[in-house]
Amino acid sequence: MRSKTWDAIIIGGGIIGVSLALELRHHGAQVLVVERGEPGREASHAGAGMLAALDPETPAALREMARVSAAKYPEFIAELKAESGMRIDFRRNGTIYLASAEIPCEGTELSAAEVKSLEPGLECSGYVAYLLAEDSVDPRELMAAALEAAKRRGVEIARGSPVTQLTIEADRVTGVRTTKTGFASPVVVNCCGAWAGEVAPITIPTRPVKGQLLSVVFPQRPQHGRSLEHVVRGESVYLVPRSDGRILIGATVEEAGFDKRVDTDVIQQLQQAAAILVPEIGEARIHDAWAGLRPGSPDGLPIMGKTSVGEYFAAAGHYRNGILLAPATAMVMSRIIRGADPEIDVSAFSPSRFPCDEHVAFRSA
Ligand SMILES: Cc1cc2nc3c(=O)[nH]c(=O)nc-3n(C[C@H](O)[C@H](O)[C@H](O)COP(=O)(O)OP(=O)(O)OC[C@H]3O[C@@H](n4cnc5c(N)ncnc54)[C@H](O)[C@@H]3O)c2cc1C
C-alpha cells in the first residue's frame, strides 16, 4: 500500500502558513500544515494588527506588496468570517501618524484643531500629524477564523512535533521529517517565521526580534466620553484600539534571541510613553502584557520564493508586517508554486540573495 502524500506541505501554522494553505486549497491542492506546537500561537498571536501599508518607514521595496495586501484585506476578512462563522475585529478608522517634523507622507496633514476633533484625548503638540487611510485587525481573531476556515476547507494540520529536516531525492524535495514521523509531498514551503532557519539542510536566515506590548482598559468611561478611535503611531510608541474598548500599546524592538519573557519595568515604560500622547492612559488599568518574536531578516525584507532545493519554497521573514502581508504573500506564493506569474515584482525577496548554501556546508560539517 502506498503511504499518503499531499500536493503541498506547509511547515509552520502561523498567519503566513495558514493563509497560504487556504489559497492553495482554494486552487484544489491537498494541503498539510505541519506545526510544532499549537497553530497560531507565536508571532501571529502577539502582533498588534496595524495594517500599516502607508508607513513612511516601510522599505521602498516592500511598498507595492504592502499596498496590494492592504487592498486585499476587506475581501480576506469577509471570506474568513463567512467561512468560519467567527467574528474578526477589523477596524477602518485610519491612523494618526505623528512625526517630529514634516515628512513626505501619503496622508493628509492635520491641524491641531483637526486632531482634537478626531481624537479629543490625544496630545500632539510638538508633532506634525498626518491622517493615513490604514486599517487594523485583531490578529488573534484573524488567526482563529483562518484556522477554522482552513479546517472547513479541508486543510489538514499535524501538530505537536517540529519538522527537523527535508527529505530530498535528486535535488528535489520529497517531504519532511519531524521528530516523530515523516510526511511526503513533492512541494514544501517553509513558513516557520523566526524559526525558519531550523529546518535542515538549508538555512533560511530569519532571526527573532522580540516585541513586548500591553493592553489597557479604562475602569470608567474616559473624560472625553469615548476611548481612542484611530490607531496612533508616535515615534516611540503606538496605540491600537480594539472595538471592545481595549487599547494595545507597543512595542519594544529587542535583539534578545528566543526569549519571550515580559519585563514589568519595560511594560510600565511603554504605558508612560503612551500616557504622554493620551494622558488618560496613565490612569488606565493594565489588562494584559505579552511578548512575541517577529521574524526578522538580514536586510529587513521578507524571504519569499524558490530556494536552491527543487520545489522547496520559503515564505518567512515578514518582520513587523506579517499580519498586513499575509493575503498578498498567500497570493504570490501560490502563484509561484503553481508556476504562474506572481503579479507583483518579488525579485527583491528572493531567498537566493542570501548564501543559504554556505550554511549547508556549515551545518553538515
Ligand atoms: C510585538 C509584535 C507586534 C507586531 N505588530 C504587527 C502589526 O501591527 N502589524 C503587522 O502586520 N505585523 C505585526 N507584527 C509582525 C507579525 O506578527 C509577524 O510578521 C507575523 O505574525 C509572522 O507570521 P508567521 O506565520 O511568519 O510567523 P509565526 O506566527 O511566528 O508562525 C510561525 C509558526 O511556525 C511554527 N514553527 C516554527 N518552527 C517549526 C518547525 N520546525 N516545525 C513546525 N512548525 C514550526 C511556530 O510554532 C509558529 O506557529 C508584530 C509582531 C510582534 C511580535
pLDDT tens sequence across 204-215: 999 999 999 999
pLDDT band at 226 (very low <50, low <70, confident <90, very high): low
Residue pair 290/213 in contact (Cβ under 8 Å)? The answer is: yes
Residue with the three cell numbers 472547513: 152
Say what the pLDDT of residue 51 is. Answer: 98
Q: pLDDT at position 356, please?
A: 63
The DSSP secondary structure of 29-87, one letter per residue, reads: --EEEEESSSTT-SHHHH---EE-TT-TTS-GGGHHHHHHHHHHHHHHHHHHHHHH---
Share of the chain above pLDDT 90, in %: 93
Confidence of residue 223 (pLDDT cuts 50, 70, 90): low
Render the burial of 163-198: b for 16+ CB within 10 Å, e for the rest. Answer: beebebeeeebbbbbbeeeebbbebbbbbbbbbbbb
Residue 67 has a pLDDT of 97
pLDDT of 3 reads 82
- Average pLDDT of the segment spanning 95-120: 96
> Which cell is 172 given?
528535489
- CA–CA gap between residue 49 and residue 90 (Å, rounded): 9
Q: How confident is the model at residue 99 (pLDDT cuts 50, 70, 90)?
A: very high
Residue nearest to atom 10 of ligand 1 (CA): 321
Query: Atom 52 (ligand 1): residue with closest C-alpha?
Result: 47
Return the residue whose CA atom lies nearest to atom 53 of ligand 1.
292
Secondary structure element (H or E) that encloses residue 116, with its range:
helix 112-118
Q: Distance, CA 110 to ligand 1 centroid (Å)?
A: 34
| Band of pLDDT at residue 359, cut at 50, 70 and 90 | very low
- Counting ligand 1 atoms within 8 A of each CB, the residue from 9, 20, 22, 35 with the most, and so the one to mutate, is 35
Q: How far is the CA of 317 from the centre of ligand 1 (A)?
A: 9
- For residue 64, what are the contacts with CB-CB under 8 A and spacing of at least 6? 344, 345
**Mean pLDDT (whole number) for 254-274:** 98
Q: What confidence category does residue 118 fall into, taking pLDDT thresholds of 50, 70 and 90?
A: very high
Write the DSSP string, 301-364. Answer: S-EEEE-SSBTEEEEE--GGGHHHHHHHHHHHHHHHHTT---SS--GGG-GGGS-HHHHHHHHH
Of all protein residues, the one whose alpha carbon is nearest to atom 26 of ligand 1 is: 193
Instruction: Give residue 177 CA to ligand 1 midpoint distance, Å.
Output: 22
**How many Å apart are CA 91 and CA 137, to the nearest integer?**
6
Ligand 1 binding pocket (C-beta < 6 A) is 11-17, 34-37, 39, 42-44, 46-50, 162-163, 191-195, 198-199, 211, 213, 250-251, 292-295, 316, 318-324
Residue type at position 192 = C
Nearest CA to ligand 1 atom 2: 47
Give whole-number Cα distances, 330 to 65, 75, 157, 255, in Å.
11, 14, 17, 28
Is residue 146 classed as helix, strand or coil in its secondary structure? Answer: helix
Q: Indicate which residue's Cα is closest to atom 25 of ligand 1.
A: 14
Q: How confident is the model at residue 163 (pLDDT cuts 50, 70, 90)?
A: very high
Is a pLDDT exceeding 50 seen at residue 338? yes
The whole-model pTM stands at: 0.96
CA–centroid distance, 310 to ligand 1, in Å, is 25
Give residue 194 CA to ligand 1 midpoint distance, Å. Answer: 7
CA dihedral 165, 13, 172, 180 (to 10 degrees): 40
pLDDT of residue 355: 83
Q: How far is the CA of 296 from the centre of ligand 1 (A)?
A: 10
Residue owning the nearest CA to atom 20 of ligand 1: 322
Question: Which atom of ligand 1 is found nearest the CA of 196?
Answer: 38
- What count of residues does the chain have? 365
Per CATH, domain 8-67+140-206+298-364 is 3.50.50.60 = yes
45 alpha carbon – ligand 1 mean position (Å): 7
> 167 CA distance to ligand 1 centroid (A)?
25
What average pLDDT does the segment 351-359 reach? 74
Q: Where are the domains of the chain?
A: 8-67+140-206+298-364, 95-132+208-295
Is the predicted pLDDT of residue 362 greater than 80, yes or no? no
Confidence label for 82 from pLDDT (cuts 50, 70 and 90): very high
Query: 102 CA to middle of ligand 1, Å?
Result: 33
Hey, which of 22, 32, 44 would you mutate to test ligand 1's pocket, going by the most ligand atoms within 8 Å of its Cβ? 44
Q: What Rg, from alpha-carbon coordinates, does the chain have? A: 21
Do residues 44 and 323 touch, judged by C-beta distance below 8 A? yes
Measure the CA dihedral 337/341/344/349, to 10°. Answer: 50
Per-residue confidence (pLDDT) for residue 14, from 0 to 100: 98
Q: Mean pLDDT over residues 109-122, rounded?
A: 96
* pLDDT the model gives residue 360: 44
Q: What are phi and psi of 65, to 5 degrees?
A: -60, -40
Q: State the average pLDDT for the chain.
A: 95
pLDDT tens readout for residues 286-296: 999 999 999 99
Compute CA distances 28 → 24, 84, 196, 198, 339, whole Å: 7, 19, 26, 30, 15
Is residue 289 a contact partner of residue 260, using CB atoms and an 8 Å limit? no
Average pLDDT over residues 263-269: 98
Work out which ligand 1 atom sits closest to the CA atom of 323: 11
Of the candidates 88, 15, 55, 98, the one whose C-alpha atom is nearest the C-alpha of residue 295 is 15
Residue 229: other Cβ atoms inside 10 A: 16
In the structure grid, which three cell numbers stand for residue 280, read together?
A: 488618560
CA of 221 to the centre of ligand 1 (A): 34
Is beta strand 182-184 parallel, antiparallel or unpaired with respect to 172-178? antiparallel
Evaluate if residue 229 carries a pLDDT over 50.
yes
CA separation for the pair 162, 36 (Å, rounded): 4
Does pLDDT of 250 surpass 70? yes
Atom of ligand 1 nearest to the CA of 40: 49
Burial of 306 (0-12, 13-18, 19+ CB in 10 A): middle
Domain 95-132+208-295: CATH architecture, name and number where available: 2-Layer Sandwich (3.30)
Q: What is the mean pLDDT of residues 305-315?
A: 98
